[in-house]
Amino acid sequence: MFRKMQFYQRMLLIVVAWSGLIATPQAFAAYKQITAGYSHTCGLKNDGSVTCWGRNSYGESTAPSGTFAQISAGGGRHTCGLKSDGNAICWGAGKTSTGNDLDFGQSVVPSGTFTQIGTGSDHTCGLKSNGSAICWGNSGNGQTSAPIGTFTQISTGDLHSCGLRNDGTVTCWGGNWYGESTAPSGTFTQLSAGNSHTCGLKSDGTATCWGNNSFGQTAAQSSTFIQLSVGNVHTCGLKNDGSVTCWGGNHYGQTTVPSGTFTQVRAGFIPVD
């Protein structure tokens, strides 16, 4: 199961500016959320429709019609969206559960309504209206075995998942080769799970990261942030003034942030050449 980590060696940094999406084929559209997957990107427009672009080998960029409240592009060649009525729908790979590569059922959404959805490598997690978490897809490392309890946020990484509890503490489950599922003590307001590291945002705006630090992706930062996003070997943070800072691996310029002010930052996955 560790194999997939070897393929996530470069990352795609996507940022949203005040005027819309920057440096993509959709530059003239207006979006309220973006999400970057393995080698594709999706945007949630102001009217609730979804547009995706990039690789589409499994239909991961063929967004269905309808009105959505949230979207999430995964590393398992699939994308999921949460509709305005709370129903979730996924498209791309994983529409069956044969257990073969890219076919772990990560797109087979269980019944019920959700308030949040998150896509990992070959698994997906949803947060239900009662605060409980449910995950589906590849569970070879326990990444779909959500613990009992209620959460205010979930975040899915490559082979692990994390949840932010009502009291601000973080619980993670699944793969833990680098300590990415060993959450530190303390209270947080937001979390982001990546390939083999995880970061949490504390109430004072400082970032705490744990797990793989091979490229400095979990290194302590002196800045304060309002949002964090974790990729494979890098991390990005959105500051109060709208600027973005990224740290960690910079093999393809993923930590070289363009100038400007932004409202959201998202680190995604693209494969090795």
Contacts of residue 111, Cβ cutoff 8 Å, sequence gap at least 6:
none
Kindly list the domain boundaries of the chain, sorted by start residue. Answer: 2-270
CB 269, CB 8: distance < 8 Å: yes
Among 82-86, 132-136, 250-254, which stretch is predicted with the lowest mean pLDDT?
A: 250-254
Most confident of 18-27, 70-79, 200-209, 226-235: 200-209
CB 226, CB 240: distance < 8 Å: yes
Q: What is the pLDDT of residues 170-220, one digit of tens each?
A: 999 999 999 999 999 999 999 999 999 999 999 999 999 999 999 999 999
The whole-number average pLDDT for the span 153-160 is 96
CB 31, CB 21: distance < 8 Å: yes
The pLDDT, as a whole number, for residue 28 is 53
Q: Is the pLDDT of residue 270 over 90?
A: no
The pLDDT, as a whole number, for residue 20 is 33
The pLDDT, as a whole number, for residue 251 is 86
C-alpha R_g of the chain: 17
Task: State the Cα–Cα distance between residues 244 and 255, nearest whole angstrom.
Answer: 10
pTM score, two decimals? 0.88
Number of Cβ atoms within 10 Å of the Cβ of 45 = 18
The whole-number average pLDDT for the span 30-53 is 93
Number of Cβ atoms within 10 Å of the Cβ of 81 = 26
CB 202, CB 184: distance < 8 Å: no
Alpha helices in 107-190 (DSSP H): none
The pLDDT, as a whole number, for residue 8 is 33
Tell me whether residue 194 is exposed, middle or buried, using C-beta atoms within 10 angstroms of its C-beta: 0 to 12, 13 to 18, 19 or more.
buried
Number of Cβ atoms within 10 Å of the Cβ of 225 = 22
| Percentage above 70 pLDDT, the chain | 88
| Percentage above 90 pLDDT, the chain | 78
Q: What is the pLDDT of residues 79-112, one digit of tens each?
A: 999 999 999 999 999 999 998 888 999 999 999 9
Q: What is the CATH number of domain 2-270?
A: 2.130.10.30
